[in-house]
Chains A and B, each alone.
Chain A
């Protein structure tokens, strides 16, 4: 079956530091890959996505590249802000249109001023 593995948190950084949150996946076929962000007490918001190999998703300074050869979709940001503090979820959806996602466990990011 499908699975998503994320690095365990919390990840604690100082403002303007470089961020990497690792995500690897197991799936058959060619899944679409997503990063969602959840701020405290809220639902999930789509941060970025990539639908095929070598695609790069980007939004709000965050980037992730779909690497089929390493089955990875690592999230990066060059300079984090305090407002980026949240929980980040990596997810995949299988090809075939079921729309049912598989989520990773989430990685908490804490950014200090």
Chain B
């Protein structure tokens, strides 16, 4: 148990378009999910904390109007990259907190976004 999925696993979009990435906890409920960004050969950078039923909390330097986060249910959070630019190309990873397992964090497999 404790599986987190992401969809799509990879996406290519054109500059100026928007793309939505879904993060789902498949077999547990998650009131809190995190969104990370990872550049090649670098660590994960926390972008925002997604809380079910409330606004996301963004880390300093992350544009909330560009990276829209919605956590509409206990098993789904979405990240929408609006008006994408080539510099938004990255590997985006989500994670979900499993409260019934002492707050262990489970990660999705990641989404590779390429903006052309």
Is B105 positioned at the interface, with any CB of A under 8 Å from its CB?
Answer: yes
Bound form: Cα–Cα A42–B41 in Å: 13
Residue of A nearest to B98 (CB): A99
State how many angstroms separate the Cβ of A37 from the closest Cβ of chain B.
11
Complex contact A44–B103 (CB within 8 A): no
A residues near B103, Cβ cutoff 8 Å: 93, 97, 99
Bound form: Cα–Cα A108–B41 in Å: 8
Tell me how many residue pairs across A and B have CB atoms closer than 8 Å: 43
Bound form: Cα–Cα A93–B95 in Å: 14
Is A31 positioned at the interface, with any CB of B under 8 Å from its CB?
Answer: no
Most buried by B among A43, A93, A105, A106: A43
**A interface residues, Cβ below 8 angstroms from B:** 36, 41-46, 89, 93, 97, 99-101, 103-106, 108
